[in-house]
């Protein structure tokens, strides 16, 4: 097929060429067009270009696509009227995502559906598990008992059921804490930079502005924190997002000392604590001093973000204000979900699920780290950053490149990922934040090759070869 050389994109020229051929009669009614694969090979382009052109012309009434019979010119194709201005063409749709490497995305297909279904059936069919008509603001007693036992056993918190408050997840917990602290006159909340912007936005929306504090290989820079006038800080000691750092023992002690000396509050986001692959997870910071730390946890990464189920363990002095905030908000998680999770965890199903997905995620991380390291263009920028934990990696890029641009070019190939610069207020060396929660080990080599090819294409000086 001949295309014009008017300088437009290949999609535009192909669409216009087929449309013109129909209008001029060179493609008559019922004419069978080549399959998208064959036409793409002839034109030396991707099938996406051909499929988008066919889709656009079908929407205009020029073509008709039927499963099993190909794409044909319609029996009575729509002819543009010469006295009417041409209609505005819709922008081509973005290529479909074929590899979801966005960070923080768990494999929801691994959800323990049989165990959850059995637990839900038990709740609905057993009289002494019947949900309360008017549930407590703090959450169901059964779930708080299960969560307290889990935190004592796994996270090193000496906590009882009555000290646990059930939330809709970490964002909900941060919103409640910010609301209470703002009402107490706390001027702003120190936050990690880079960090997860959603939590910063939630705190600000609740009336507590945020102030960024740098993060390095040891986690939150406590010395930089002491130079601020903050009296509250939000941090993720177990596995910082997006750097992947863990708060070092020295920084843990320094942070607790800072809070004690300034009558400040530490809000601990126990992010990814369940997924540590090289050793047993370090205990929660709140386990060292319950009076200084508000502990936050959830099942968003371990089970499913759609459950909107989490918990909070506040210091004794903040329990009642936070309980009042929960009560007045009247926005707790579903009682049925609370009881179902309590049954699942209480019968060992949650621990069994964690053991299974921990092995899965470790294999996915190992495969991705290995394949990324097989490409010189990636390897030359240094090793991937972050401890062996969680669901994401930080991959340094060549300093000459812009990480947002790399993300856009990967999106053109159907690969969704994130740029480090999207999570920080300060200048940072370019890097990709890559999630591997949904990347099968068998696809890791392909994903690494795509990343390496994009980097080589974007480097100002041509380099030969993809692998090293």
Name the nearest CA neighbour of 437 among 368, 374, 381: 368
The pLDDT value recorded for residue 31 is 84
374 and 290 together in one domain: no
195 and 315 together in one domain: yes
343 and 361 together in one domain: no
Q: Mark out the alpha helices in 73-169 (DSSP H runs).
A: 113-125, 141-150
Whether 135 maps to a domain, the answer reads: yes
Name the nearest CA neighbour of 452 among 467, 436, 432: 467
Is the pLDDT at 85 greater than 50, yes or no?
Answer: no
- Give the CATH number for residue 212: 3.40.640.10
The pLDDT value recorded for residue 23 is 82
Per-residue pLDDT reduced to its tens digit, 318-376:
999 999 999 988 778 999 999 999 999 999 999 999 999 999 999 999 999 999 999 99
**Spatial separation of the C-alpha atoms in residues 234 and 198, rounded to whole Å:** 12
161 and 290 together in one domain: yes
In this predicted model, which residue has the larger pLDDT, 224 or 31?
Answer: 224
55 and 145 together in one domain: no
363 and 442 together in one domain: yes
Whether 93 maps to a domain, the answer reads: no
The pLDDT value recorded for residue 84 is 46
Domain-terminating residue out of 317, 347, 377: 347
Strand partners, 219: 216
The pLDDT value recorded for residue 66 is 74
CB environment 434-455: b (16+ within 10 A), e (fewer):
bbbbbbebebbbebbebbbbbb
The pLDDT value recorded for residue 26 is 80
Is the pLDDT at 36 greater than 90, yes or no?
Answer: no
Q: What tokens were used for 347?
A: 């019968």
Per-residue pLDDT reduced to its tens digit, 119-163:
999 999 998 888 777 778 999 999 999 999 999 999 999 999 999
Per-residue pLDDT reduced to its tens digit, 154-172:
999 999 999 999 999 999 9
33 and 156 together in one domain: no
pLDDT tier, 460 (very low <50, low <70, confident <90, very high otherwise): confident
**Spatial separation of the C-alpha atoms in residues 258 and 273, rounded to whole Å:** 23
Per-residue pLDDT reduced to its tens digit, 46-84:
777 787 788 788 877 888 877 666 888 887 655 544 444
Structural domain that includes position 194: 131-347
Sorted by sequence, the CB contacts under 8 Å of residue 417 that are 6+ apart come out as: 101, 102, 103, 407, 410, 432, 433, 434, 435
The pLDDT value recorded for residue 94 is 65
201 and 313 together in one domain: yes
Per-residue pLDDT reduced to its tens digit, 94-104:
678 889 999 98
Q: Mean pLDDT score of the chain, rounded to an integer?
A: 90
**85-93: long-range contacts at Cβ-Cβ below 8 A with a sequence spacing of 24 or more?**
89/12, 89/15, 89/56, 90/56, 90/59, 92/11, 92/52, 92/56, 93/52
Whether 441 maps to a domain, the answer reads: yes
The pLDDT value recorded for residue 12 is 78
Per-residue pLDDT reduced to its tens digit, 212-259:
999 999 999 999 999 999 999 999 999 999 999 999 999 999 999 999
pLDDT tier, 40 (very low <50, low <70, confident <90, very high otherwise): confident
- Give the CATH number for residue 424: 3.90.1150.10
337 and 357 together in one domain: no
Domain-terminating residue out of 321, 347, 373: 347
314 and 232 together in one domain: yes
216 and 338 together in one domain: yes
Whether 37 maps to a domain, the answer reads: yes
Count of CB atoms situated within 10 Å of the CB of 338: 25
Per-residue pLDDT reduced to its tens digit, 391-438:
999 999 999 999 999 999 999 999 999 999 999 998 999 999 999 999
Domain-terminating residue out of 347, 376, 392: 347
End-to-end CA distance of the chain: 40
Q: What tokens were used for 416?
A: 């969704």
Do the Cβ atoms of 229 and 197 come closer than 8 Å?
Answer: no
**Spatial separation of the C-alpha atoms in residues 419 and 404, rounded to whole Å:** 5
Number of structural domains in the chain:
3
Per-residue pLDDT reduced to its tens digit, 248-289:
999 999 999 999 999 999 999 999 999 999 998 899 999 999
């Amino acid at each position: 097929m001949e295309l014009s050389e008017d300088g437009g994109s290949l999609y535009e020229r192909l669409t216009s060429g087929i449309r013109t051929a129909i209008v001029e009669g060179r493609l008559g009614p019922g004419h069978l067009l080549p399959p998208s694969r064959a036409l793409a090979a002839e034109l030396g382009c991707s099938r996406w270009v051909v499929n988008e052109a066919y889709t656009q012309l079908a929407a205009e009434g020029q073509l008709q696509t039927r499963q099993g019979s190909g794409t044909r010119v319609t029996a009575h194709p729509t002819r543009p009227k010469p006295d009417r201005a041409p209609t505005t063409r819709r922008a081509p749709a973005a290529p479909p995502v074929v590899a979801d490497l966005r960070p923080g995305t768990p494999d929801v297909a691994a959800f323990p559906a049989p165990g959850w279904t059995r637990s839900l059936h038990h709740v609905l069919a057993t009289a002494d598990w019947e949900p309360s008509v008017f549930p407590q603001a703090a959450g169901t007693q059964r779930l708080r008992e299960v969560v307290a036992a889990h935190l004592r056993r796994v996270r090193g918190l000496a906590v009882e059921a009555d000290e646990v408050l059930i939330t809709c997840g970490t964002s909900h917990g941060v919103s409640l804490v910010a609301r209470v602290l703002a009402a107490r006159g706390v001027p702003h909340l120190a936050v990690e930079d880079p960090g997860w912007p959603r939590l910063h936005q939630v705190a600000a929306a609740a009336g507590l502005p945020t102030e960024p504090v740098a993060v390095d290989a040891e986690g939150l820079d406590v010395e930089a924190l002491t130079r601020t006038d903050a009296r509250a800080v939000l941090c993720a000691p177990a596995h910082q997002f997006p750097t992947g750092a863990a708060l070092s023992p020295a920084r843990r002690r320094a942070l607790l000392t800072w809070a004690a000396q300034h009558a400040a509050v530490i809000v601990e986001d126990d992010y990814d604590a369940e997924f540590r692959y090289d050793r047993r997870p370090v205990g929660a910071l709140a386990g060292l001093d319950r009076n200084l730390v508000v502990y936050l946890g959830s099942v968003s990464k371990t089970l499913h973000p759609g459950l909107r189920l989490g918990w909070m363990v506040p210091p004794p002095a903040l329990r009642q204000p936070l309980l009042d905030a929960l009560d007045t908000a009247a926005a707790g998680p579903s009682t049925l979900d609370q009881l179902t999770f309590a049954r699942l965890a209480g019968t060992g199903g949650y621990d069994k699920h964690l053991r299974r997905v921990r092995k899965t995620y470790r294999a996915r991380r190992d495969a991705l780290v290995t394949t990324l390291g097989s490409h010189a263009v990636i390897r030359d920028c240094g090793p991937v950053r972050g401890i062996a934990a969680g669901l994401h990696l930080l991959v340094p890029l060549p300093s000459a490149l812009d990480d947002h641009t790399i993300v856009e070019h990967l999106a053109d190939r159907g690969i969704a990922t994130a740029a480090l610069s999207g999570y920080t207020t300060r200048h940072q060396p370019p890097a990709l934040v890559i999630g591997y929660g949904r990347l099968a080990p068998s696809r890791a080599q392909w994903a690494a090759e795509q990343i390496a090819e994009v980097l080589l294409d974007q480097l100002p000086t041509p380099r030969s070869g993809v692998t090293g």
